[in-house]
Amino acid sequence: MNRSSKKSECVTVYRMNIYFHIDELNRDAIVASALKKKFAQKGHRLIYGNRVLNRLLKYFHSAFDIIILPRPHFLYDTWGENWMSWKTRFIMLSTESLGIICKDHHVMARTLLEKDYFEGKRKYIDRIDSFCYWGKKQLRAIEDYAPELLEKCHVVGHPRHDQLCVNGLKSIGRNNIQKHKRIGIITRAVALNDYFNRSPLDGYTTLFDPHFQYEYFNKKTGEHLVSKRTQTKPGDTIAVQAIDVQNTLLLINSLTKEGYQVSVRFHPKENIDVWRDILNRCNLKADISDTKFPILKWLQDFNYIIGPPSTSFYDAAMLGVIPVSTCSLDPRRSQFIGELWEDNNRLMEHIYKPKSIASLLNYIEEENRNFVSPEVKSILKEEADFPECRKSLDKVVEVCERYINDKKAKKISPHLFYIVRSIYFWAWKLRQNLSGRKQNSASFTISRKTSCFIDSLTA
């Protein structure tokens, strides 16, 4: 490269600067990686952010044309009323938006717009410029309960299934083992094994918290939306997860004895070290998935994925992997299930739920099985805009580019933001170390190494 070309690179002028909030590194980094490349193709610059870094935007918001966040509450929870006067555009892009939450439009609308909107504090939602939703099912919730906002809403599809996120997935399994002899297992025992090491007893405080009794009070209709999320008591949650953990351990034992190579993907909010210790002490031979890598890269290594009801079953179905639920292995489990548990999402009606491990083993021995029926396709289309979601992030870029002609004089250089970001994270990391707190998927430093890792997730 000659000297003149190096100079031209240094003075590259980006048409827009976009701040993208990575809510969970283990889940959302792949979307950040793909979006950065798609914006770059259009001459824009995307900068990674997270919950830790958001606090700095109070002083550096003028460096950005657009800020992308998952839900409205991040705005006023982090910046109070300050953000209302910023000249920056605000785009909402959901990080979780399918499964049981889609079944009840009332609850879906509250999740997408937050309860403040329905309780009369409409100024926050009015200030947001655009909402990017995964499918028409979510859009119908807006049509039913907030039709006045439809002009701001766009169906973009499941962002983690954009073609750039799916392309180039490389096998992370052992090549000398046949694919049908590899089984993926997922877990969800957050109440028992929280990555913050919180006690299971913490959940019982919700019994006396009035905010958990109602989703919201709709001032427009005079209606209280009773919370369906808390109809199941904390003890029920613990009981279900205790049964699921027992089934997981027994299942790993049976599968390995039958010659299967088992890989376990733990919920991103669980403490993996605890699981690793238990598997070791039980002498259970299972690979542990590195949760830093997207679940898509893990899923494509199997014909079957097994576990308690989860939205990961949607991911599996869209990748051609057959989900199997362990929810019926123990008949006691069903008595603790609440209405808004993933056991009751629409996809679960079509998923095999064996009543014994022996039946499960017989089921997965069949290699040429097709799970995606017309009914399943319809569900994936409505909730995730599948297969059109392969262009999901192109649609997100299109929504953002509607604001490209805004005349906003940038007062702060993004380069200064980079410098201050490095110092800020250094101080934050030092504080974490002194307090004995570990970084996790939600709170982590965005160093050069982290940024390079995120960049590498997509080709």
**How does pLDDT run across 88-113, given as a tens digit for each residue?**
999 999 999 999 989 888 888 988 99
pLDDT score recorded for residue 178: 56
Task: Measure the CA–CA gap between 67 and 92, rounded to whole angstroms.
Answer: 9
How does residue 180 score in pLDDT terms, banded at 50, 70 and 90? low
Pairing mode of beta strands 322-325, 261-265: unpaired
pLDDT at 405 over 90: no
**How does pLDDT run across 46-92, given as a tens digit for each residue?**
999 999 999 999 999 999 999 999 999 999 999 999 999 999 999 99
- Contacts of residue 218, defined as CB under 8 A and 6 or more positions apart, other chains included, come to 118, 119, 224, 225
pLDDT score recorded for residue 448: 92
pLDDT score recorded for residue 217: 62
As a whole number of Å, the end-to-end CA separation of the chain is 23
Full set of structural domains in the chain with CATH = 15-158+387-456 (3.40.50), 179-384 (3.40.50)
**How does pLDDT run across 263-322, given as a tens digit for each residue?**
999 998 899 999 999 999 999 999 999 888 889 889 988 999 999 999 999 999 999 999
pLDDT score recorded for residue 399: 97
Task: Measure the CA–CA gap between 31 and 70, rounded to whole angstroms.
Answer: 12
- Contacts of residue 264, defined as CB under 8 A and 6 or more positions apart, other chains included, come to 184, 185, 186, 187, 248, 252, 275, 279, 286, 287, 288, 289
For the whole model, what pTM was predicted?
Answer: 0.89
Mean pLDDT, the chain, integer:
88
Provide the percentage of residues in the chain whose pLDDT is more than 90: 68
pLDDT score recorded for residue 436: 83
Q: Which 3-state string (H, E, C) describes the chain? A: CCHHHHHHHHCCCCCCEEEEECCCHHHHHHHHHHHHHHHHHCCCEEEEECCCHHHHHHHHHHHCCEEEECCCHHHHHHHCCHHHHCCCEEEEECCCCCHHHHCCHHHHHHHHHCHHHHCCCCHHHHHCCEEEECCHHHHHHHHHHCHHHHHHEEECCCHHHCHHHHCCCCCCCCCCCCHHHEEEEECCCCCCCECCCCCHHHHHHHHHCHHHCEEEEECCCCEEEECCCCCCCHHHHHHHHHHHHHHHHHHHHHHHHCCCEEEEECCCCECHHHHHHHHHHCCCCCEECCCCCCHHHHHCCCCEEEECCCCHHHHHHHCCCEEEECCCCCHHHHHHCCCCCHHHCHHHHHCECCCCHHHHHHHHCCCCCCCCCHHHHHHHHHHHCCCHHHHHHHHHHHHHHHHCCCCCCCCCCHHHHHHHHHHHHHHHHHHHHHHCCCCCCCCCCCCHHHHHHHHHCCC
Provide the percentage of residues in the chain whose pLDDT is more than 70: 88
- Contacts of residue 247, defined as CB under 8 A and 6 or more positions apart, other chains included, come to 308, 326, 329, 330
pLDDT score recorded for residue 442: 87
Burial class (CB within 10 angstroms; exposed 0-12, middle 13-18, buried 19+) of 358: exposed
Among 122-131, 196-205, 336-345, name the most confident range.
Answer: 122-131
pLDDT at 182 over 50: yes
Tokens 């982090």 map to which residue?
A: 78
Chain CA centroid to CA 391, Å: 18
The total of other beta-carbon atoms located within 10 Å of residue 341's CB is 21
Cα four-point dihedral sign 91, 268, 345, 167: positive
pLDDT score recorded for residue 407: 61
pLDDT score recorded for residue 269: 86
pLDDT at 133 over 90: yes
pLDDT score recorded for residue 5: 41
pLDDT at 329 over 90: yes
How does residue 196 score in pLDDT terms, banded at 50, 70 and 90? confident
How does residue 175 score in pLDDT terms, banded at 50, 70 and 90? very low
Tokens 């051609």 map to which residue?
A: 320
**How does pLDDT run across 207-265, given as a tens digit for each residue?**
776 655 556 666 666 666 655 555 568 899 999 999 999 999 999 999 999 999 999 99
Beta-bridge partners for 218: 223
- For residues 151 and 110, is the Cβ–Cβ distance under 8 A? no
How does residue 9 score in pLDDT terms, banded at 50, 70 and 90? very low
One-letter amino acid at 249 equals: L
How does residue 437 score in pLDDT terms, banded at 50, 70 and 90? confident
pLDDT at 18 over 60: yes
pLDDT average, residue stretch 40-46: 96
**How does pLDDT run across 139-155, given as a tens digit for each residue?**
999 999 999 999 999 99
